Structure 1
Amino acid sequence: MPQKLITIDLDGTTLNNQNQVSPKTIQVIKKASAAGHIVSIVTGRPYRISENIYDQLQLKTPMVNFNGALTHIPHQHWAGEYKRTINKAIVFDMMANRKKLQLEMIAAEGKHTYLADHLPPSSLDFFPTTLNQNQHLSRNSLKRNPTSMILFVAPHQEQVVRNIVMHNYGTQVDIGVWGGPNSVLEVVSKGIQKAKAVAYIAHQYHIDRQNIIAFGDEHNDAEMLDYVGRGVAMQNATPIIKGIANDVTEFDNDHDGLARYLENYLYLAN
């Protein structure tokens, strides 16, 4: 079997419903790596809450964060590392108009930085629950252009805020909407998507497009699953994602769907 690039989303895909990697998944990913395949995490998560999963899987390959805005190899210097940022002036503009836009929290993130003007609501568990003095977002603390800006908005203001940001900065940025009960907008550099990052990694390792297999479950996986040679939707994926994919796992993310599929597809059972 030719060398494969295997790109895996985290939430709802590699992780179970307790946001954990099962022993079975760790075992299969290690087998795939040992067989010479390249396994890369491709996630919307920032690095700060995906590094531990990367280490659990014992990967040494590139990882993609912020849906493609950051591609790097953790714990080492990699000449191929790249990031796409947004102008920090956009963050300052949101801060200046915070009350008018009814923004409940503004956060700016980079590979190793997290700055926020407030603590998040307790329901948003992707964010630190305490803020150190050096994590408070201000004009002085935000010295570099961030990779991502998160806006936690009042539910009735979500479309208003999107429209204002795109009207003022639409040539520079794109806005994604987080799933779930909260109104969370994420602002990244224009044109960011997982598929571009996957193509970049494949180029680095000289792997043809038809030898890329990708797993995902949500709207931010759509371009990636459409781009690769074999796009696999999780059993728990949205109907749209299942419609884009070449195949669907027999089991969902809470029953080792990704691991079982890979085990069969790559003949790793022995």
Structure 2
Amino acid sequence: MIKMIALDLDNTLLNSQRHISEANTRILKKLHKQGKEIVLCTGRPINAIWAWLSQLGLMNENDYSVNFNGSLVIHNVDKQPLMADGMQKGHFASLHEFCAAHDYPLDILDFSGVYPINDLPLSGYEKRLGGNMHFLHIPFSKLPDVDYSKAVICTAPRVLDQIVQNLPEKLKHDFHIVRSQPMILEFLKPGVDKGSALDVLLKRFGWTRDNLMTFGDAQNDLEMLASAKVGVAMANGTPAAKQTANAVTEVDNDHDGVAQFLQTYFADENV
């Protein structure tokens, strides 16, 4: 029996205008009211998704989110972490050297804010991520000694294509690297992903992967698509997402693909 529904945001639950449609909102709120746990799984921090959590009514005692692509599982109502799996500043030294050598931008995130590294070219990540976040432009040498969730290279898709093709083996060893969007490449702690974070949350409820349904579209969703009893790729998803999932929506994120799939799957539950 499906008890938890976990959803990626960009190009999955969100449409091209970065809105959750009325149809998606209505069915998710109804399923939540019926006792399903609805979990947003994103590369963003919780402050950047607060409006969407509020829109869906995910502010009850048992409501959690997966943030930073799996580095953090957080209790929505009080923003207290259930799990935080971060890295230290030194972990990013080789990545900073790589970016400096090729004039690539770099943003490094802790668990509450973003540090655009200003001894490198300006990144487009701040504009992409939007408001409700603290950004501190700082040189790499001045980064504070705190736990960090991930790093991001945000640049033009054609430049990112070249970066992916030429990543040093050391970086591939030191990080779990995922391309979450055409213009965003993310560097996570090895072993950290949305699927592993959902395992933590399932354990919290005493459930297993047989109780999990997931929706995603991109490389950073593959682990959670593979781990679920019902892993659903979007019609607009990448070939890898569709190959990994065991179901695909009939329509894309701009035509309520999530809502249509849920309506059909839970038809016997009067959704």
TM-score tier by shorter-chain length is 0.7 to 0.9
Cα distance in 2, alignment partners of residues 13 and 143 from structure 1: 35
Q: Which residue number in structure 2 is paired with residue 51 of structure 1? A: 50
TM-score normalised to structure 1 length: 0.83
* Mapping 1:222-241, distance limit 5 Å: 222-241=222-241
TM-score normalised to structure 2 length: 0.83
Q: Which residue number in structure 2 is paired with residue 158 of structure 1? A: 163
Cα distance in 1, alignment partners of residues 25 and 2 from structure 2: 20
Give the C-alpha shift of residue 160 in structure 1: 7.4
Cα distance in 2, alignment partners of residues 256 and 219 from structure 1: 21
Bigger proportion of residues as helix:
2
Q: Which residue number in structure 2 is paired with residue 216 of structure 1? A: 216
Cα distance in 2, alignment partners of residues 77 and 49 from structure 1: 12
Question: 1:54-110 CA deviation, whole Å, 9 max, x = no partner?
Answer: 2221113111112111111124154x611121220243555466542322x221112
- Matched length: 260
Question: 1:150-208 CA deviation, whole Å, 9 max, x = no partner?
Answer: 13465586147621xx42x555422223432x4x4321111112111111111111123
Cα distance in 2, alignment partners of residues 236 and 170 from structure 1: 28
> Is the CA contact (8 Å cut-off) linking 2:116 and 2:138 kept in structure 1?
yes
Q: Which residue number in structure 2 is paired with residue 147 of structure 1? A: 149
Give the C-alpha shift of residue 232 in structure 1: 1.3
* Mapping 1:197-216, distance limit 5 Å: 197-216=197-216
Task: Give the unaligned 5+ runs of structure 2.
Answer: none
> Is the CA contact (8 Å cut-off) linking 1:235 and 1:257 kept in structure 2?
yes
AA at the equivalent of 1:120: S
Relative to structure 1, the CA distance from residue 3 to residue 116 in structure 2 (aligned partners, 3 Å threshold; closer, same or farther) is same
* Mapping 1:1-270, distance limit 5 Å: 2=1, 4-60=3-59, 61-76=63-78, 78=80, 81-92=82-93, 94-95=95-96, 98-103=99-104, 105-118=105-118, 119-121=122-124, 125-127=127-129, 134-152=136-154, 154-155=159-160, 158-159=163-164, 162-163=167-168, 166-167=169-170, 171-180=173-182, 182=183, 184-267=184-267, 269=270
Relative to structure 1, the CA distance from residue 160 to residue 59 in structure 2 (aligned partners, 3 Å threshold; closer, same or farther) is same
Question: RMSD over aligned Cα, in angstroms?
Answer: 2.8
Give the C-alpha shift of residue 21 in structure 1: 0.5
> Is the CA contact (8 Å cut-off) linking 2:65 and 2:74 kept in structure 1?
yes
Cα distance in 2, alignment partners of residues 133 and 236 from structure 1: 32
> Is the CA contact (8 Å cut-off) linking 1:107 and 1:117 kept in structure 2?
yes
> Is the CA contact (8 Å cut-off) linking 1:120 and 1:127 kept in structure 2?
no
